[in-house]
Amino acid sequence: MSDARQTALAIDALRRGWPVALTGADGALALLPIETADPVRLAAFDPAGSAAVLLSAGRALTLKLANQLAAAVPDSPVLVERAPWLDFAAATALADPQLDLQTPLKGPFRAIPLAETDAGAAALRLARIGGVLPAFFVLPGGRADLTLSVGDIGAHEDAERLAIATRARLPVHGAEDAEIVAFRTPEMPGEHIALLIGAPNGRPPLVRLHSECLTGDVLGSLKCDCGPQLDAAIAAIQASGWGILLYLRQEGRGIGLINKLRAYALQDQGFDTVDANTRLGFAVDSRNFRVAARMLMLLAQPRVRLLTNNPEKVAQLAAAGIDVVERVPHFLPANPHNERYLATKRDRTGHQL
């Protein structure tokens, strides 16, 4: 039986720098998150000084530890052997790529085989959900005050547990005849929103899946195209007669605000949006659009016209049982600050611009 509550407790622990133990199909690991821990906690967690460091393959590639890796999938787990010089400060430098260009790394470091791959992969996933850097001190065996299983994390992210919580009329700029519908699961803190615009007219609705972008949606950031895309989506849906804007709480393509801002700091150093995610140790895109499919099903709209340049959204909705009868391009003009970002989306993440 998986217990989604354990994952909420584990996320809380990670953010406070407390250890957790994670059990997977091939063994258990005790984990201390490097970003939020400190040397005193490390000494308590690992009195013998034997804990290895768990990183993602993407981060290990950046650190030139890739030679020992079988799989170079960016978000797969890699273990770095404990060496006398791998103290808390050195581990922080392994965890956080923002200092790579300023601080020469100590070393040498060596990647070693990880027996508990299931728990290791789940640990990286847990870090992403919790919004912390995907890097841990690890001990085999899984002893800690708080324990959870890999299945608990799946239950925490289960889109099928999403339900409508409430709905109300909400006139918005550009669409006065609109209704807001709020969704939530018992587990995930972010509430997803649907904005229903206009009245059903027998045709499949024009639907936009908008992933949360605090910097673009609220602050008017020019680094991306999210703000203008949001406004233009509402205008396009209004003009089409009827449709639905899904506002999905997938900040930073699913890595959260803080990690997205770390990716921005790496972009300030010259890396593009794809390489910045990889250097941080995350997949290029961690979003899962099953949640959007579930929302459309709850709204009784299994056939849609989809406003997007991203073929992955079409594919994932289709895989989740939504009939995407048409893809409608959603391209906004570039500005000098987001030109490179848009070019990277076109050239490296398959956006059809």
**What residue ranges bind Zn ion (CB under 5 A)?**
213, 216, 224, 226
338 binds ligand GTP (CB under 6 A): no
Cis peptide before 336 (omega within 30 of 0): no
Contact indicator for 140, 113 with CB cutoff of 8 Å: no
Q: What is the footprint of ligand GTP within residues 273-332 (CB under 6 A)?
A: 273, 277, 308-310, 313, 330
Report which secondary-structure segment, H or E, holds 306. Answer: strand 303-307
Q: Which is nearer to ligand GTP, 111 or 193 (CB)?
A: 193
Catalytic, out of 285, 327, 340, 346: 285
Q: Which is nearer to Zn ion, 13 or 342 (CB)?
A: 342
Number of residues lying near ligand GTP (CB under 6 A)? 22
Contact indicator for 279, 100 with CB cutoff of 8 Å: yes
**252 annotated as belonging to a binding site for a ligand:** yes
CB of 289 to ligand GTP, least distance (A): 10
Which of these ranges, 51-59, 152-160, 199-207, 251-259, lies near ligand GTP under the rule CB under 6 A?
251-259
CB of 210 to ligand GTP, least distance (A): 7
**226 annotated as belonging to a binding site for a ligand:** yes
Residue identified by tokens 């972009």 is 267
Nearest of 317, 331, 334 to residue 244 by alpha carbon: 317
Contact indicator for 137, 34 with CB cutoff of 8 Å: yes
Residues 6+ apart with CB under 8 A from 141: 28, 29, 30
Q: Which of 82, 128, 253, 290 binds ligand GTP (CB under 6 A)?
A: 253
Catalytic, out of 41, 279, 287, 290: 287
Integer Cα distance of 260 and 253 in angstroms:
8
Integer Cα distance of 61 and 78 in angstroms:
10
344, amino acid identity:
T
Residues 6+ apart with CB under 8 A from 99: 93
- Confirm whether 275 is a catalytic residue: no
Q: Which of 30, 127, 196, 224 binds ligand GTP (CB under 6 A)?
A: 224
Q: Which is nearer to ligand GTP, 23 or 273 (CB)?
A: 273
- Confirm whether 303 is a catalytic residue: no
**Does the CA dihedral 236-238-241-247 come out positive or negative?**
positive
CB of 345 to ligand GTP, least distance (A): 6
Residue identified by tokens 């847990």 is 126
CB of 247 to Zn ion, least distance (A): 13
**229 annotated as belonging to a binding site for a ligand:** yes
Residues 6+ apart with CB under 8 A from 336: 222
Residue 240's CB is within 10 A of a number of other CB atoms, namely 17
Catalytic residues: 285, 287
Annotated binding site: 208-213, 224, 226, 229, 251-253, 273, 308, 313
Annotated binding site for GTP: 208-212, 229, 251-253, 273, 308, 313
Binding site residues, ligand GTP, CB under 6 A: 211-213, 224, 226, 229, 250-253, 255, 260, 263, 273, 277, 308-310, 313, 330, 345, 351
Annotated binding site for Zn(2+): 213, 224, 226
